[in-house]
Amino acid sequence: MLAFVNGPTIGRVTAETTHPSTEPAAAERPRKRQARGERRIAQLLDAAGHVFAESGYAATTTNAIAARAGVSPGSLYQYFPNKDAIAAALAEFYADSLDELLAPFAALDPAAVSLEAALGASLGPIVRFHRDNPACLALFIGGNAPGHVMDLQAPLMARTHARIEALLALYAPELPAARLETGAAVTLAAYKGVLPLLVEAEEERVPALTQELGDLLLGYFDRLLRP
Amino acid sequence: MLAFVNGPTIGRVTAETTHPSTEPAAAERPRKRQARGERRIAQLLDAAGHVFAESGYAATTTNAIAARAGVSPGSLYQYFPNKDAIAAALAEFYADSLDELLAPFAALDPAAVSLEAALGASLGPIVRFHRDNPACLALFIGGNAPGHVMDLQAPLMARTHARIEALLALYAPELPAARLETGAAVTLAAYKGVLPLLVEAEEERVPALTQELGDLLLGYFDRLLRP
DNA sequence: AGAGATTACGAGTGATTGCTCGCATTCGTC
DNA sequence: GACGAATGCGAGCAATCACTCGTAATCTCT
C-alpha cells in the first residue's frame, strides 16, 4: 500500500520559489509546509486512493477520505482546495508513473528486440503498478472523472496512443497511416479493457493473465502486420 | 433513436393479473395503465438513455431526465419508484437484447462455420445495438451502477463468459479447462474494452473498426488454440 | 520563553437533489 | 354528460455533501 509516498513530489503543491516581487493578482502566499503537513498530504492521498478505488470518484465523499485518513474535514481542506484537487493530485502521480513505465517502448530496435520480448519485459511492472494503485483505473478508465483529472488523462491517452502508433510503425514500416492509427486505437482500447481483469484477479493468477494480455496484443499485431 | 420502444414490454411494471384475493402484505394495487402512460414510460426511458449516456448514472439527476422527457418530476415518479428503477428498466431491456444478439454463438458447428465467419456475421449487429443505445455501455461498463442494475449486469456477464467459454471449447476441444476459463475472461474483457471505441467513432469508421475488433479476437484465438 | 506561523478540529452552512404531496386535468366507460 | 381512475404538475421537504470558520493546539525560530 501507499505505493506513491516514496514517489516523486506527489501532491507537493509547493509554489516554486518565484521572485520575491508581489505577484499581480492570483498569487497565493507561498505557505511554508512543515514535515507534519507533508505527512498529512501523504495520508490523505493514500486514503483517497483507497476510497476512490472502492467507490469511484462521484460516490466518494470528502468526509469519507478525511475519516479514512484519521483527519477532520477541515484539515483536509487545508491541503486541498476542493475534491477535484485531490483526484487531480493522484492523477498527476499516476500519469507521471505510467509515462515512466511506458517509456521503454519509445526507442526499440526492431532488429535486436522482438515485440514479444519487449512486451514480456514491460507488461509485468505495468500490471504491478495498477494492482498497487487501483484508483488509477478508477479515475482514468472509470469515465466520469472531474474536469482537472480529464486534463491529465486525455493527454496521457494521447501520448500512449502515439507511442503505440510509433511502435507499430517501427515494426511494420510499410503499413498505411490510417491502419496504423486504427491499430493503435484498438490496441489501447483492448489494453484498457483487460487491465481491470488483472487488477481484480487473485495474486496467483496474475502471471498467467499477464501472459494472456501479451498474447492478446501480439495476436492482434500478427493480424495487423501480415495481411 | 428510441431503439427499444418497439421492444418487448420494456418498463412494463404491470403486475400480472393475480387472483382477486387480497395479497398478504407487499402487493400493490394492479394499476390499469392507459395508452398515454405507456407512451410516457417510453419517453422517460428514451430521455433517461440519453442523459445516462451523456453524464453517467451518478451525475444524472431525475429532474434532468424528467425535463428531457418534457415531463414534470412528479410525473416521472408516477411510473418509477426511484432513480434506480429507471436504470434497472433500461438495463433489463439491454440485457435481454444482448442475450438475443449473443445467442447465435450458442450452437455453432465447427465443421460448417469458421470462427471468422461467425464473428463477421454477429459483430455488426452487436456494434449497431451499442451505437443505438450508448447508455448500455454507460450503465454496464461504467462500473458504478446502482444495486439493481448490477443484479442484471453480473448475470449477463456470467452468461456471456459461459458462452465464450463454450465457443472456445467447441473449436478447441483439447484445451485444458483452466486455460479455457482464462481465455474467455480475457476475450470478454478485450471485447468490453473496444466497444466504447466503436460507440464513439464516426459512422464511416464503424465497418473498419468492427473488422479490427474481429481481428483482435481472432488473433487472440489463434494464439490461444495453437501453442 | 515568546512570537508568529502552521496545523488541527468539527459543528455549521449553503447548495444540490432524490423524492413527495395536494390539487388540477384528461381519459375511459356508462 | 357524468363519474371514477389515471395522468400531470411543480413547489417544496428532507437528506446529503462539499466546503467554511472561529478557535485551539503545536511547531519553528530566535
**400493490: which residue's cell?**
B28
Average pLDDT over residues B72-98: 96
Of B58, B190, B213, Cβ closest to residue A59: B58
Distance B61 CA to C15 C1' (A): 15
Among A216, A145, A155, which Cα is nearest to A186's?
Answer: A216
Record the cell numbers describing residue B112, joined without a space.
Answer: 460448417
Q: What is the pLDDT of residue B30?
A: 58
Nearest-CA distance A185 → chain B (Å) = 8
Find the radius of gyration of the CA atoms of chain B. Answer: 20
The DSSP string of chain B is --TTTTSSSTT--PPP---SSPPSSS----PPPPHHHHHHHHHHHHHHHHHHHHHHHHH--HHHHHHHTT--HHHHHHH-SSHHHHHHHHHHHHHHHHHHHHGGGSS--TTTS-HHHHHHHHHHHHHHHHHH-THHHHHHTSS---HHHHHHHHHHHHHHHHHHHHHHHHH-TTS-HHHHHHHHHHHHHHHHHHHHHHHHS-GGGHHHHHHHHHHHHHHHHHHHH--
Of A182, A186, A194, Cβ closest to residue B186: A194
Compute the count of residue pairs across chains A and B with CB atoms less than 8 Å apart. Answer: 104
Q: What is the pLDDT of residue B2?
A: 47
DSSP state of A39: H
The answer, for A30 touching chain B at a CB cutoff of 8 Å, is no
Q: Taking CB atoms and an 8 Å limit, are A220 and B220 in contact across chains?
A: yes
> What residues in A contact B185, CB-CB < 8 Å?
197, 209
**Distance between CA atoms of B123 and B114, rounded to whole angstroms?**
14
Record the cell numbers describing residue B39, joined without a space.
Answer: 407512451
Contacting residues 184-213/A vs strand C (CB within 7 A): none
Distance A29 CA to D27 C1' (A): 19
> What residues in B contact A216, CB-CB < 8 Å?
186, 190, 216, 219-220, 223
Chain centroid to CA A195? 12
Q: What is the pLDDT of residue A227?
A: 66
Among A93, A130, A95, A122, which Cα is nearest to A106's?
Answer: A122
Domains, in order of start, for chain A: 1-81 (1.10.10.60), 83-227 (1.10.357)
Do residues A137 and A76 make contact, with C-beta atoms less than 8 angstroms apart? no
Distance A220 CA to D22 C1' (A): 62
Start-to-end CA distance of chain B, whole Å, equals 45
Share of chain B above pLDDT 70, in %: 86
Q: For B13-68, write each residue's pLDDT tens digit.
A: 333 333 333 333 334 455 688 888 899 999 999 999 999 999 999 999 999 999 99
Of A144, A212, A218, Cβ closest to residue B56: A144
Q: Taking CB atoms and an 8 Å limit, are B190 and A216 in contact across chains?
A: yes
Q: What is the pLDDT of residue B22?
A: 35
Please indicate whether residue B10 or residue B204 has the higher confidence score (pLDDT).
Answer: B204
> What residues in A contact B59, CB-CB < 8 Å?
58, 144
Q: For B183-227, write each residue's pLDDT tens digit.
A: 999 999 999 999 999 999 999 999 999 999 999 999 999 999 886
Listed in sequence order, the residues at least 6 apart from A28 whose beta carbon sits closer than 8 Å to its beta carbon are A15
Per-residue pLDDT of chain A (227 residues; tens, 9 = 90+): 445 443 333 433 333 333 333 333 344 455 688 888 899 999 999 999 999 999 999 999 999 999 999 999 999 999 999 999 999 999 999 999 999 999 988 878 888 999 999 999 999 999 999 999 999 999 998 777 888 999 999 999 999 999 999 999 999 999 999 999 999 999 999 999 999 999 999 999 999 999 999 999 999 999 998 86
**Distance between CA atoms of A54 and A65, rounded to whole angstroms?**
11
Find the nucleotide nearest B77 (Cα to C1′). Answer: C19
The answer, for A207 touching chain B at a CB cutoff of 8 Å, is no
The length of chain A, given as a count of residues: 227
Strand C bases within 7 angstroms of protein beta carbons:
5-12, 16-22, 27-28
CA atoms within 13 A on the CB side of A62: 16
Do residues A161 and A188 make contact, with C-beta atoms less than 8 angstroms apart? yes
Q: What is the pLDDT of residue B104?
A: 86
**B 138-157 residues with CB < 8 A to A:** 138, 142-144
Distance A88 CA to D25 C1' (A): 31
**Distance between CA atoms of B94 and B100, rounded to whole angstroms?**
10
> What residues in B contact A54, CB-CB < 8 Å?
none
Q: What is the pLDDT of residue B24?
A: 37
Q: Is A2 helix (H, G, I), strand (E, B) or coil?
A: coil
The answer to whether the beta carbon of residue B40 comes closer than 7 angstroms to any atom of strand D is yes
**Distance between CA atoms of B119 and A190, rounded to whole angstroms?**
17
Distance A34 CA to C1 C1' (A): 22
**Distance between CA atoms of A43 and A46, rounded to whole angstroms?**
5
CA atoms within 13 A on the CB side of B149: 26
Q: For B111-140, write each residue's pLDDT tens digit.
A: 899 999 999 999 999 999 999 999 999 999
Distances (CA, A) of A182 to A167, A174, B30, B152: 13, 15, 53, 33
Distances (CA, A) of A179 to A163, A223, A224, B211: 15, 12, 8, 12
Amino acid at A173: P
Backbone angles phi, psi at A173, to 5 degrees: -60, -25
Do residues A110 and A168 make contact, with C-beta atoms less than 8 angstroms apart? no
Record the cell numbers describing residue B175, joined without a space.
Answer: 484445451
Record the cell numbers describing residue A85, joined without a space.
Answer: 484537487
